[in-house]
Structure 1
């Protein structure tokens, strides 16, 4: 009889917990050592997450910290290799459904999608991506980052996230590739810059204001953004704001493993645990698979193949036409293609020069040739 009462009690407790949290409680593992702020900071974050977010059950992994016995623990020796091994085992056995770690050896093709608080209006914004590598080549990686960023946004309830591309090297090529996907049926909603000239290629003002839901960039730039947004008001030694470097995403990748920094403080770690649980609850790996399948139906593989660097060949010598005063500019050509675009105009006897404007590279030319030049550049794939 006592055993039956115990089972009934457990069942009732589970029903009550599910009702409180709005769904099943998600067990998320947290590495309990390795922080620059000490193990107690991690344990404090675990307790904070569990108190603030009823749908999260934190499972600490590592040497137990005195005073935090109310948390669930998978105890290990004070060895990071042992902690990592215990985390992997817990994921494999289903003891935890997601994990938050300070480091993880993701395979090539897997990246993490971060999330920050933007200071101008307090909006959250996803940074795609922040660690790991979604592809070897920068432009391909950014295209994939956009797709993974959309999947992560949807996993946390953003049904139709707006997307913008940070104005880094390759941004115009990425925008062109994503636009091709959109034209061929992939459902993507581009956001718009807050600046007067608009467009979906973002400047610094836009990311401060959170102009879009998903900011697409290369991983190294994304990593820098994560550190600046999370610790600009603390001097850099303590990451106090945001949700950390985010959950992992990649084609065929089955796990939801989030990354935090060794400098991350308890508020960020607690948010990272909740972010991870939300991505698990939102079935992130399945969403990634669905987004990739729809992108491939829209020609993703062919678009990516066209983006790959071409084998080096003997460069054609093109003699520029006689110089003329340049009183107009053409924007929207990527920095990687700007010199080729200029040569394409020279071939058509249009004098042009490459230059760098405040929004990126431009082609300078006489205004009387502008319309014809735009047609030539479009025909050659530069616009």
Structure 2
């Protein structure tokens, strides 16, 4: 038996998966997700990783993917990559540490020289590589708290054109919109209210989590990020924050009006993602026939977009035989490393 831990270190979330392999088969495991504002407390990353490692249990090897190197706690991305790798290595310095690079390779971080910028952002690559083996023709739609990844897979190979974030943004494969942390002002500039189209305040008054909580698409316990006003994560609190988007108080707008506002904003977000899907799929001959695999906290948005394109939406595959670990970047990284080490 070998025990793998995969880490996915983002700017707002730390996710980890521990998978147990027996005779080369991923038998069972578990995942952990913690909200953590890396941009506010980069020095707190290592203690958090130690806490998660203690919770998950020991491992024989670890692998890291990341997107948190971009956050403005660091002077540049290379500093961010180095800082994150150091924090992960210090969590269990006695065991081997690997990273996924932009080519999809597992690189042993043993002190040898490595080009830091080839190690990030790579969480989407790990996830797509595993899915390509399990479902060789599909569109991976991973909608997290902050971003959306649109990764086409054709013939068992990743068909994405971009690797670095700037390339992926230009090609529609990365969209900066997510189910929790996206400011409403980044989704819509106007809303229908009282029979008119009203401009909104370009302030950090409400976020996508407020929209989807009001609409019942997220439960309060799914609202894992901080609220814009630092107050309660309830439907009432979300309605109050949404009213401020129109520079109003919630007592001066009816619940029906605020619900309609939330529905319109959600529609605009679905349209953003659907347009990205059109852009990505238009490059592929069979693009508008590919099934969609929606994953992440915003999988419900991916399902809605698939319906707009009249494409089937498939459940993401489980990575362990007992079904305890579903597809995610940290689990995919652990799965890839476990397979590699099982083969010797």
- TM-based fold match above 0.5: no
Q: Which has the larger radius of gyration?
A: 1
User: What's the TM-score, normalizing by structure 2?
Assistant: 0.29
Query: More relative contact order in 1 or in 2 (CA 8 Å, sep 6+)?
Result: 2
User: What's the TM-score, normalizing by structure 1?
Assistant: 0.27
